[in-house]
Amino acid sequence: MSVPPTRLLLATALTVVALLGGACSAGQPAATTASSGTAGASATAGAGGSGTGTAAAPSGVSGLSADQAAQAHQAALGLVALGGLGSDKGTTDGLRTLADRVSTEGRALDEQIRTLATAQGLTLTDDVSAQIQGVLNDLQGRSGQPFDQAWLRAVGDLVEQGRAAANAVLSSSDASDEAKAAARDALARLDALTAAIRDAATTSGAGTPNSVNAGTGGQAADTDPALPAALVGLGALLLAAALRLRRRKA
Amino acid sequence: MQRKRLWVHSTHRTPLSLHPGRSLATWAAAVAGVVCIAAGVLLAVGPDGAADAGVVPAAAAVPAAAAVPNAAGTVPVAVALPDRSVSAPVVPTGTTPDGALVVPDPPTTVGWWSPGALAGATSGTTVLAGHVDSAAAGLGAFAVLRQVGVGERVELRGADGRTLAYRVVARRQLGKADLPADLFAHGGPPRLVLITCAGRFDRTTRHYTDNVIVYTEPA
């Protein structure tokens, strides 16, 4: 299940190129600012791959918006923060090991994004978004198994966010072949991480319930619908019998 | 003469010895019939089952990753329905590998689905589940959910000592296969959801056919 570090870094770098490739286009100073998941929607962080973009695509366009880039960066920051928290507060060796893996992947992605963003004039915030801070606050209020369970669900959500960004590249007609290859590679890694998280969630009882069985006695059961009808029928028969008896008596 | 005597004997004895019995049987049959019909009608239109009430509050309407709790809440340790004179301790619980929400064994104890929202969180659904009854211990703390009405008060006490008040806004009785998945989704407005069982009881599987879900919002 673990990914070799070299392959991880390569895939991460390719993903980052896919996310921010547009800013790498020669002679295109990027004025885009992507910050805290609230970057202006009008700006675009393109990719297309340096020198390999399709002729039809505007320079610096990869099919990925600044919002999506910021979202991917926030996912990376969130993975780093959640990984650290899981390493500190996780109650099992398995969860702490998974937390270390989450931290490593998040940190690698964050560093690569920062390096490329700085080179291209993109500004990325150092802070996690309010939403991710809310998750961290929520997790800080838990301990024991409730922490493990909520942590697994939070990490799963962030990984899903990263998968959404990768799928956005794959479905973009503007993205270059290199960008799509990188997105596919990133998606494979995230899928592997998702599988590990899902396994851990199942083990720790954090899965989404599909049933609630909260009664074994039957004392509170509804009446069988046949019973009222049977009682009414019996009552009618008895009344008819009483009427017949009265007539015979008369 | 003998024959006539018998006839006279018979006609004279009948009003005295048989009519009182027949009259009693007539009255007994009439009363029993009325009682049976009344019981049948009462069972048919009585308080069995939980009629749906109120409007279900919205669940998560935004992607999960962007709709996470944004303020620290507290772990719930007790729940009370003051209008029903019901109170019960609350313990954390989770999900079995086959996807069933774990409900604490003592029917007087309620489970908090701990992967979900904390009590008092500013977003997300806090889920509590409790037995309606058990074979060993009779009716459970959440047996009253089938009769809880819109506007009734629910209180959660947190591990930090806070008491958080909620108001019932809706109640639904659904087949177990129709359990809404959004009960367990992250994000959305803050709400507390109480779940138990209802409907008919299968004595073979020892399971109920339905779930009753009571939706509440912060008071």
Q: Is the pLDDT of residue B81 over 90?
A: yes
> Taking the mean position of all CA atoms in its chain, how far away is CA B153?
16
Show residues of chain A in contact with B92, CB under 8 Å.
144-146
Q: 């509050």: which residue's tokens?
A: B57
Q: Are A231 and B49 within 8 A, CB to CB? A: no
Q: Is the pLDDT of residue A153 over 60?
A: yes
Does residue A240 contact residue B29 with C-beta atoms inside 8 Å? Answer: no
Give the pLDDT band of residue B65 (cuts 50, 70, 90). very low
pLDDT digits (tens, 9 = 90+) for A196-236: 999 999 999 999 999 999 999 888 887 666 666 777 788 88
Across chain A, mean pLDDT equals 72
Give the pLDDT band of residue A42 (cuts 50, 70, 90). very low
**Exposure class string for A49-80: b at 16+ Cβ within 10 A, else e:** beeebeeebeebbbbbbbbbbbbbbbbbbbbb
pLDDT digits (tens, 9 = 90+) for B154-192: 999 999 999 999 999 999 999 999 999 999 988 889 999
Does residue B111 contact residue B102 with C-beta atoms inside 8 Å? Answer: yes
**Searching chain A, which residue's CA lies closest to the CA of residue B181?**
A210
User: CA of B45: how far to CAs of A231, B39, B41, in Å?
Assistant: 13, 10, 6
Cβ count near A21 (within 10 Å): 31
pLDDT of residue B48: 53
Tell me, yes or no, if B119 comes closer than 8 A to chain A by beta carbon.
no
Give CA–CA dist B182/A22, Å, rounded.
38
pLDDT of residue B168: 97
Surface-to-core class of residue B109, CB atoms within 10 Å of its CB (0-12 exposed, 13-18 middle, 19+ buried): middle
pLDDT digits (tens, 9 = 90+) for A84-98: 999 999 999 999 999
Rounded average pLDDT over A150-169: 87
Show residues of chain A in contact with B29, CB under 8 Å.
238-239, 241-242, 245
Give CA–CA dist A18/A165, Å, rounded.
10
pLDDT digits (tens, 9 = 90+) for A44-67: 232 223 332 222 333 343 445 566
- The distance of A233 to chain B (nearest Cα, Å) reads 7
pLDDT of residue A149: 96
Q: Are B96 and A158 within 8 A, CB to CB? A: no
Rounded average pLDDT over B199-206: 91
**Searching chain A, which residue's CA lies closest to the CA of residue B67?**
A131
CB within 8 Å of chain A, chain B residues 90-109: 92-97, 99-103
Show residues of chain B in contact with A240, CB under 8 Å.
33
Give the pLDDT band of residue B53 (cuts 50, 70, 90). confident
State the best of B114, B128, B142, B178 to mutate against chain A, taking most chain A CBs within 10 Å: B114
Give the rounded percent of residues in chain B with a pLDDT score beyond 70.
81
Show residues of chain A in contact with B143, CB under 8 Å.
220
pLDDT of residue A115: 65
Give the pLDDT band of residue A76 (cuts 50, 70, 90). confident
A234, amino acid identity: L
Q: Which residue from A154, A153, A162, A157 is spatially nearest to A186, judged by alpha carbons?
A: A162
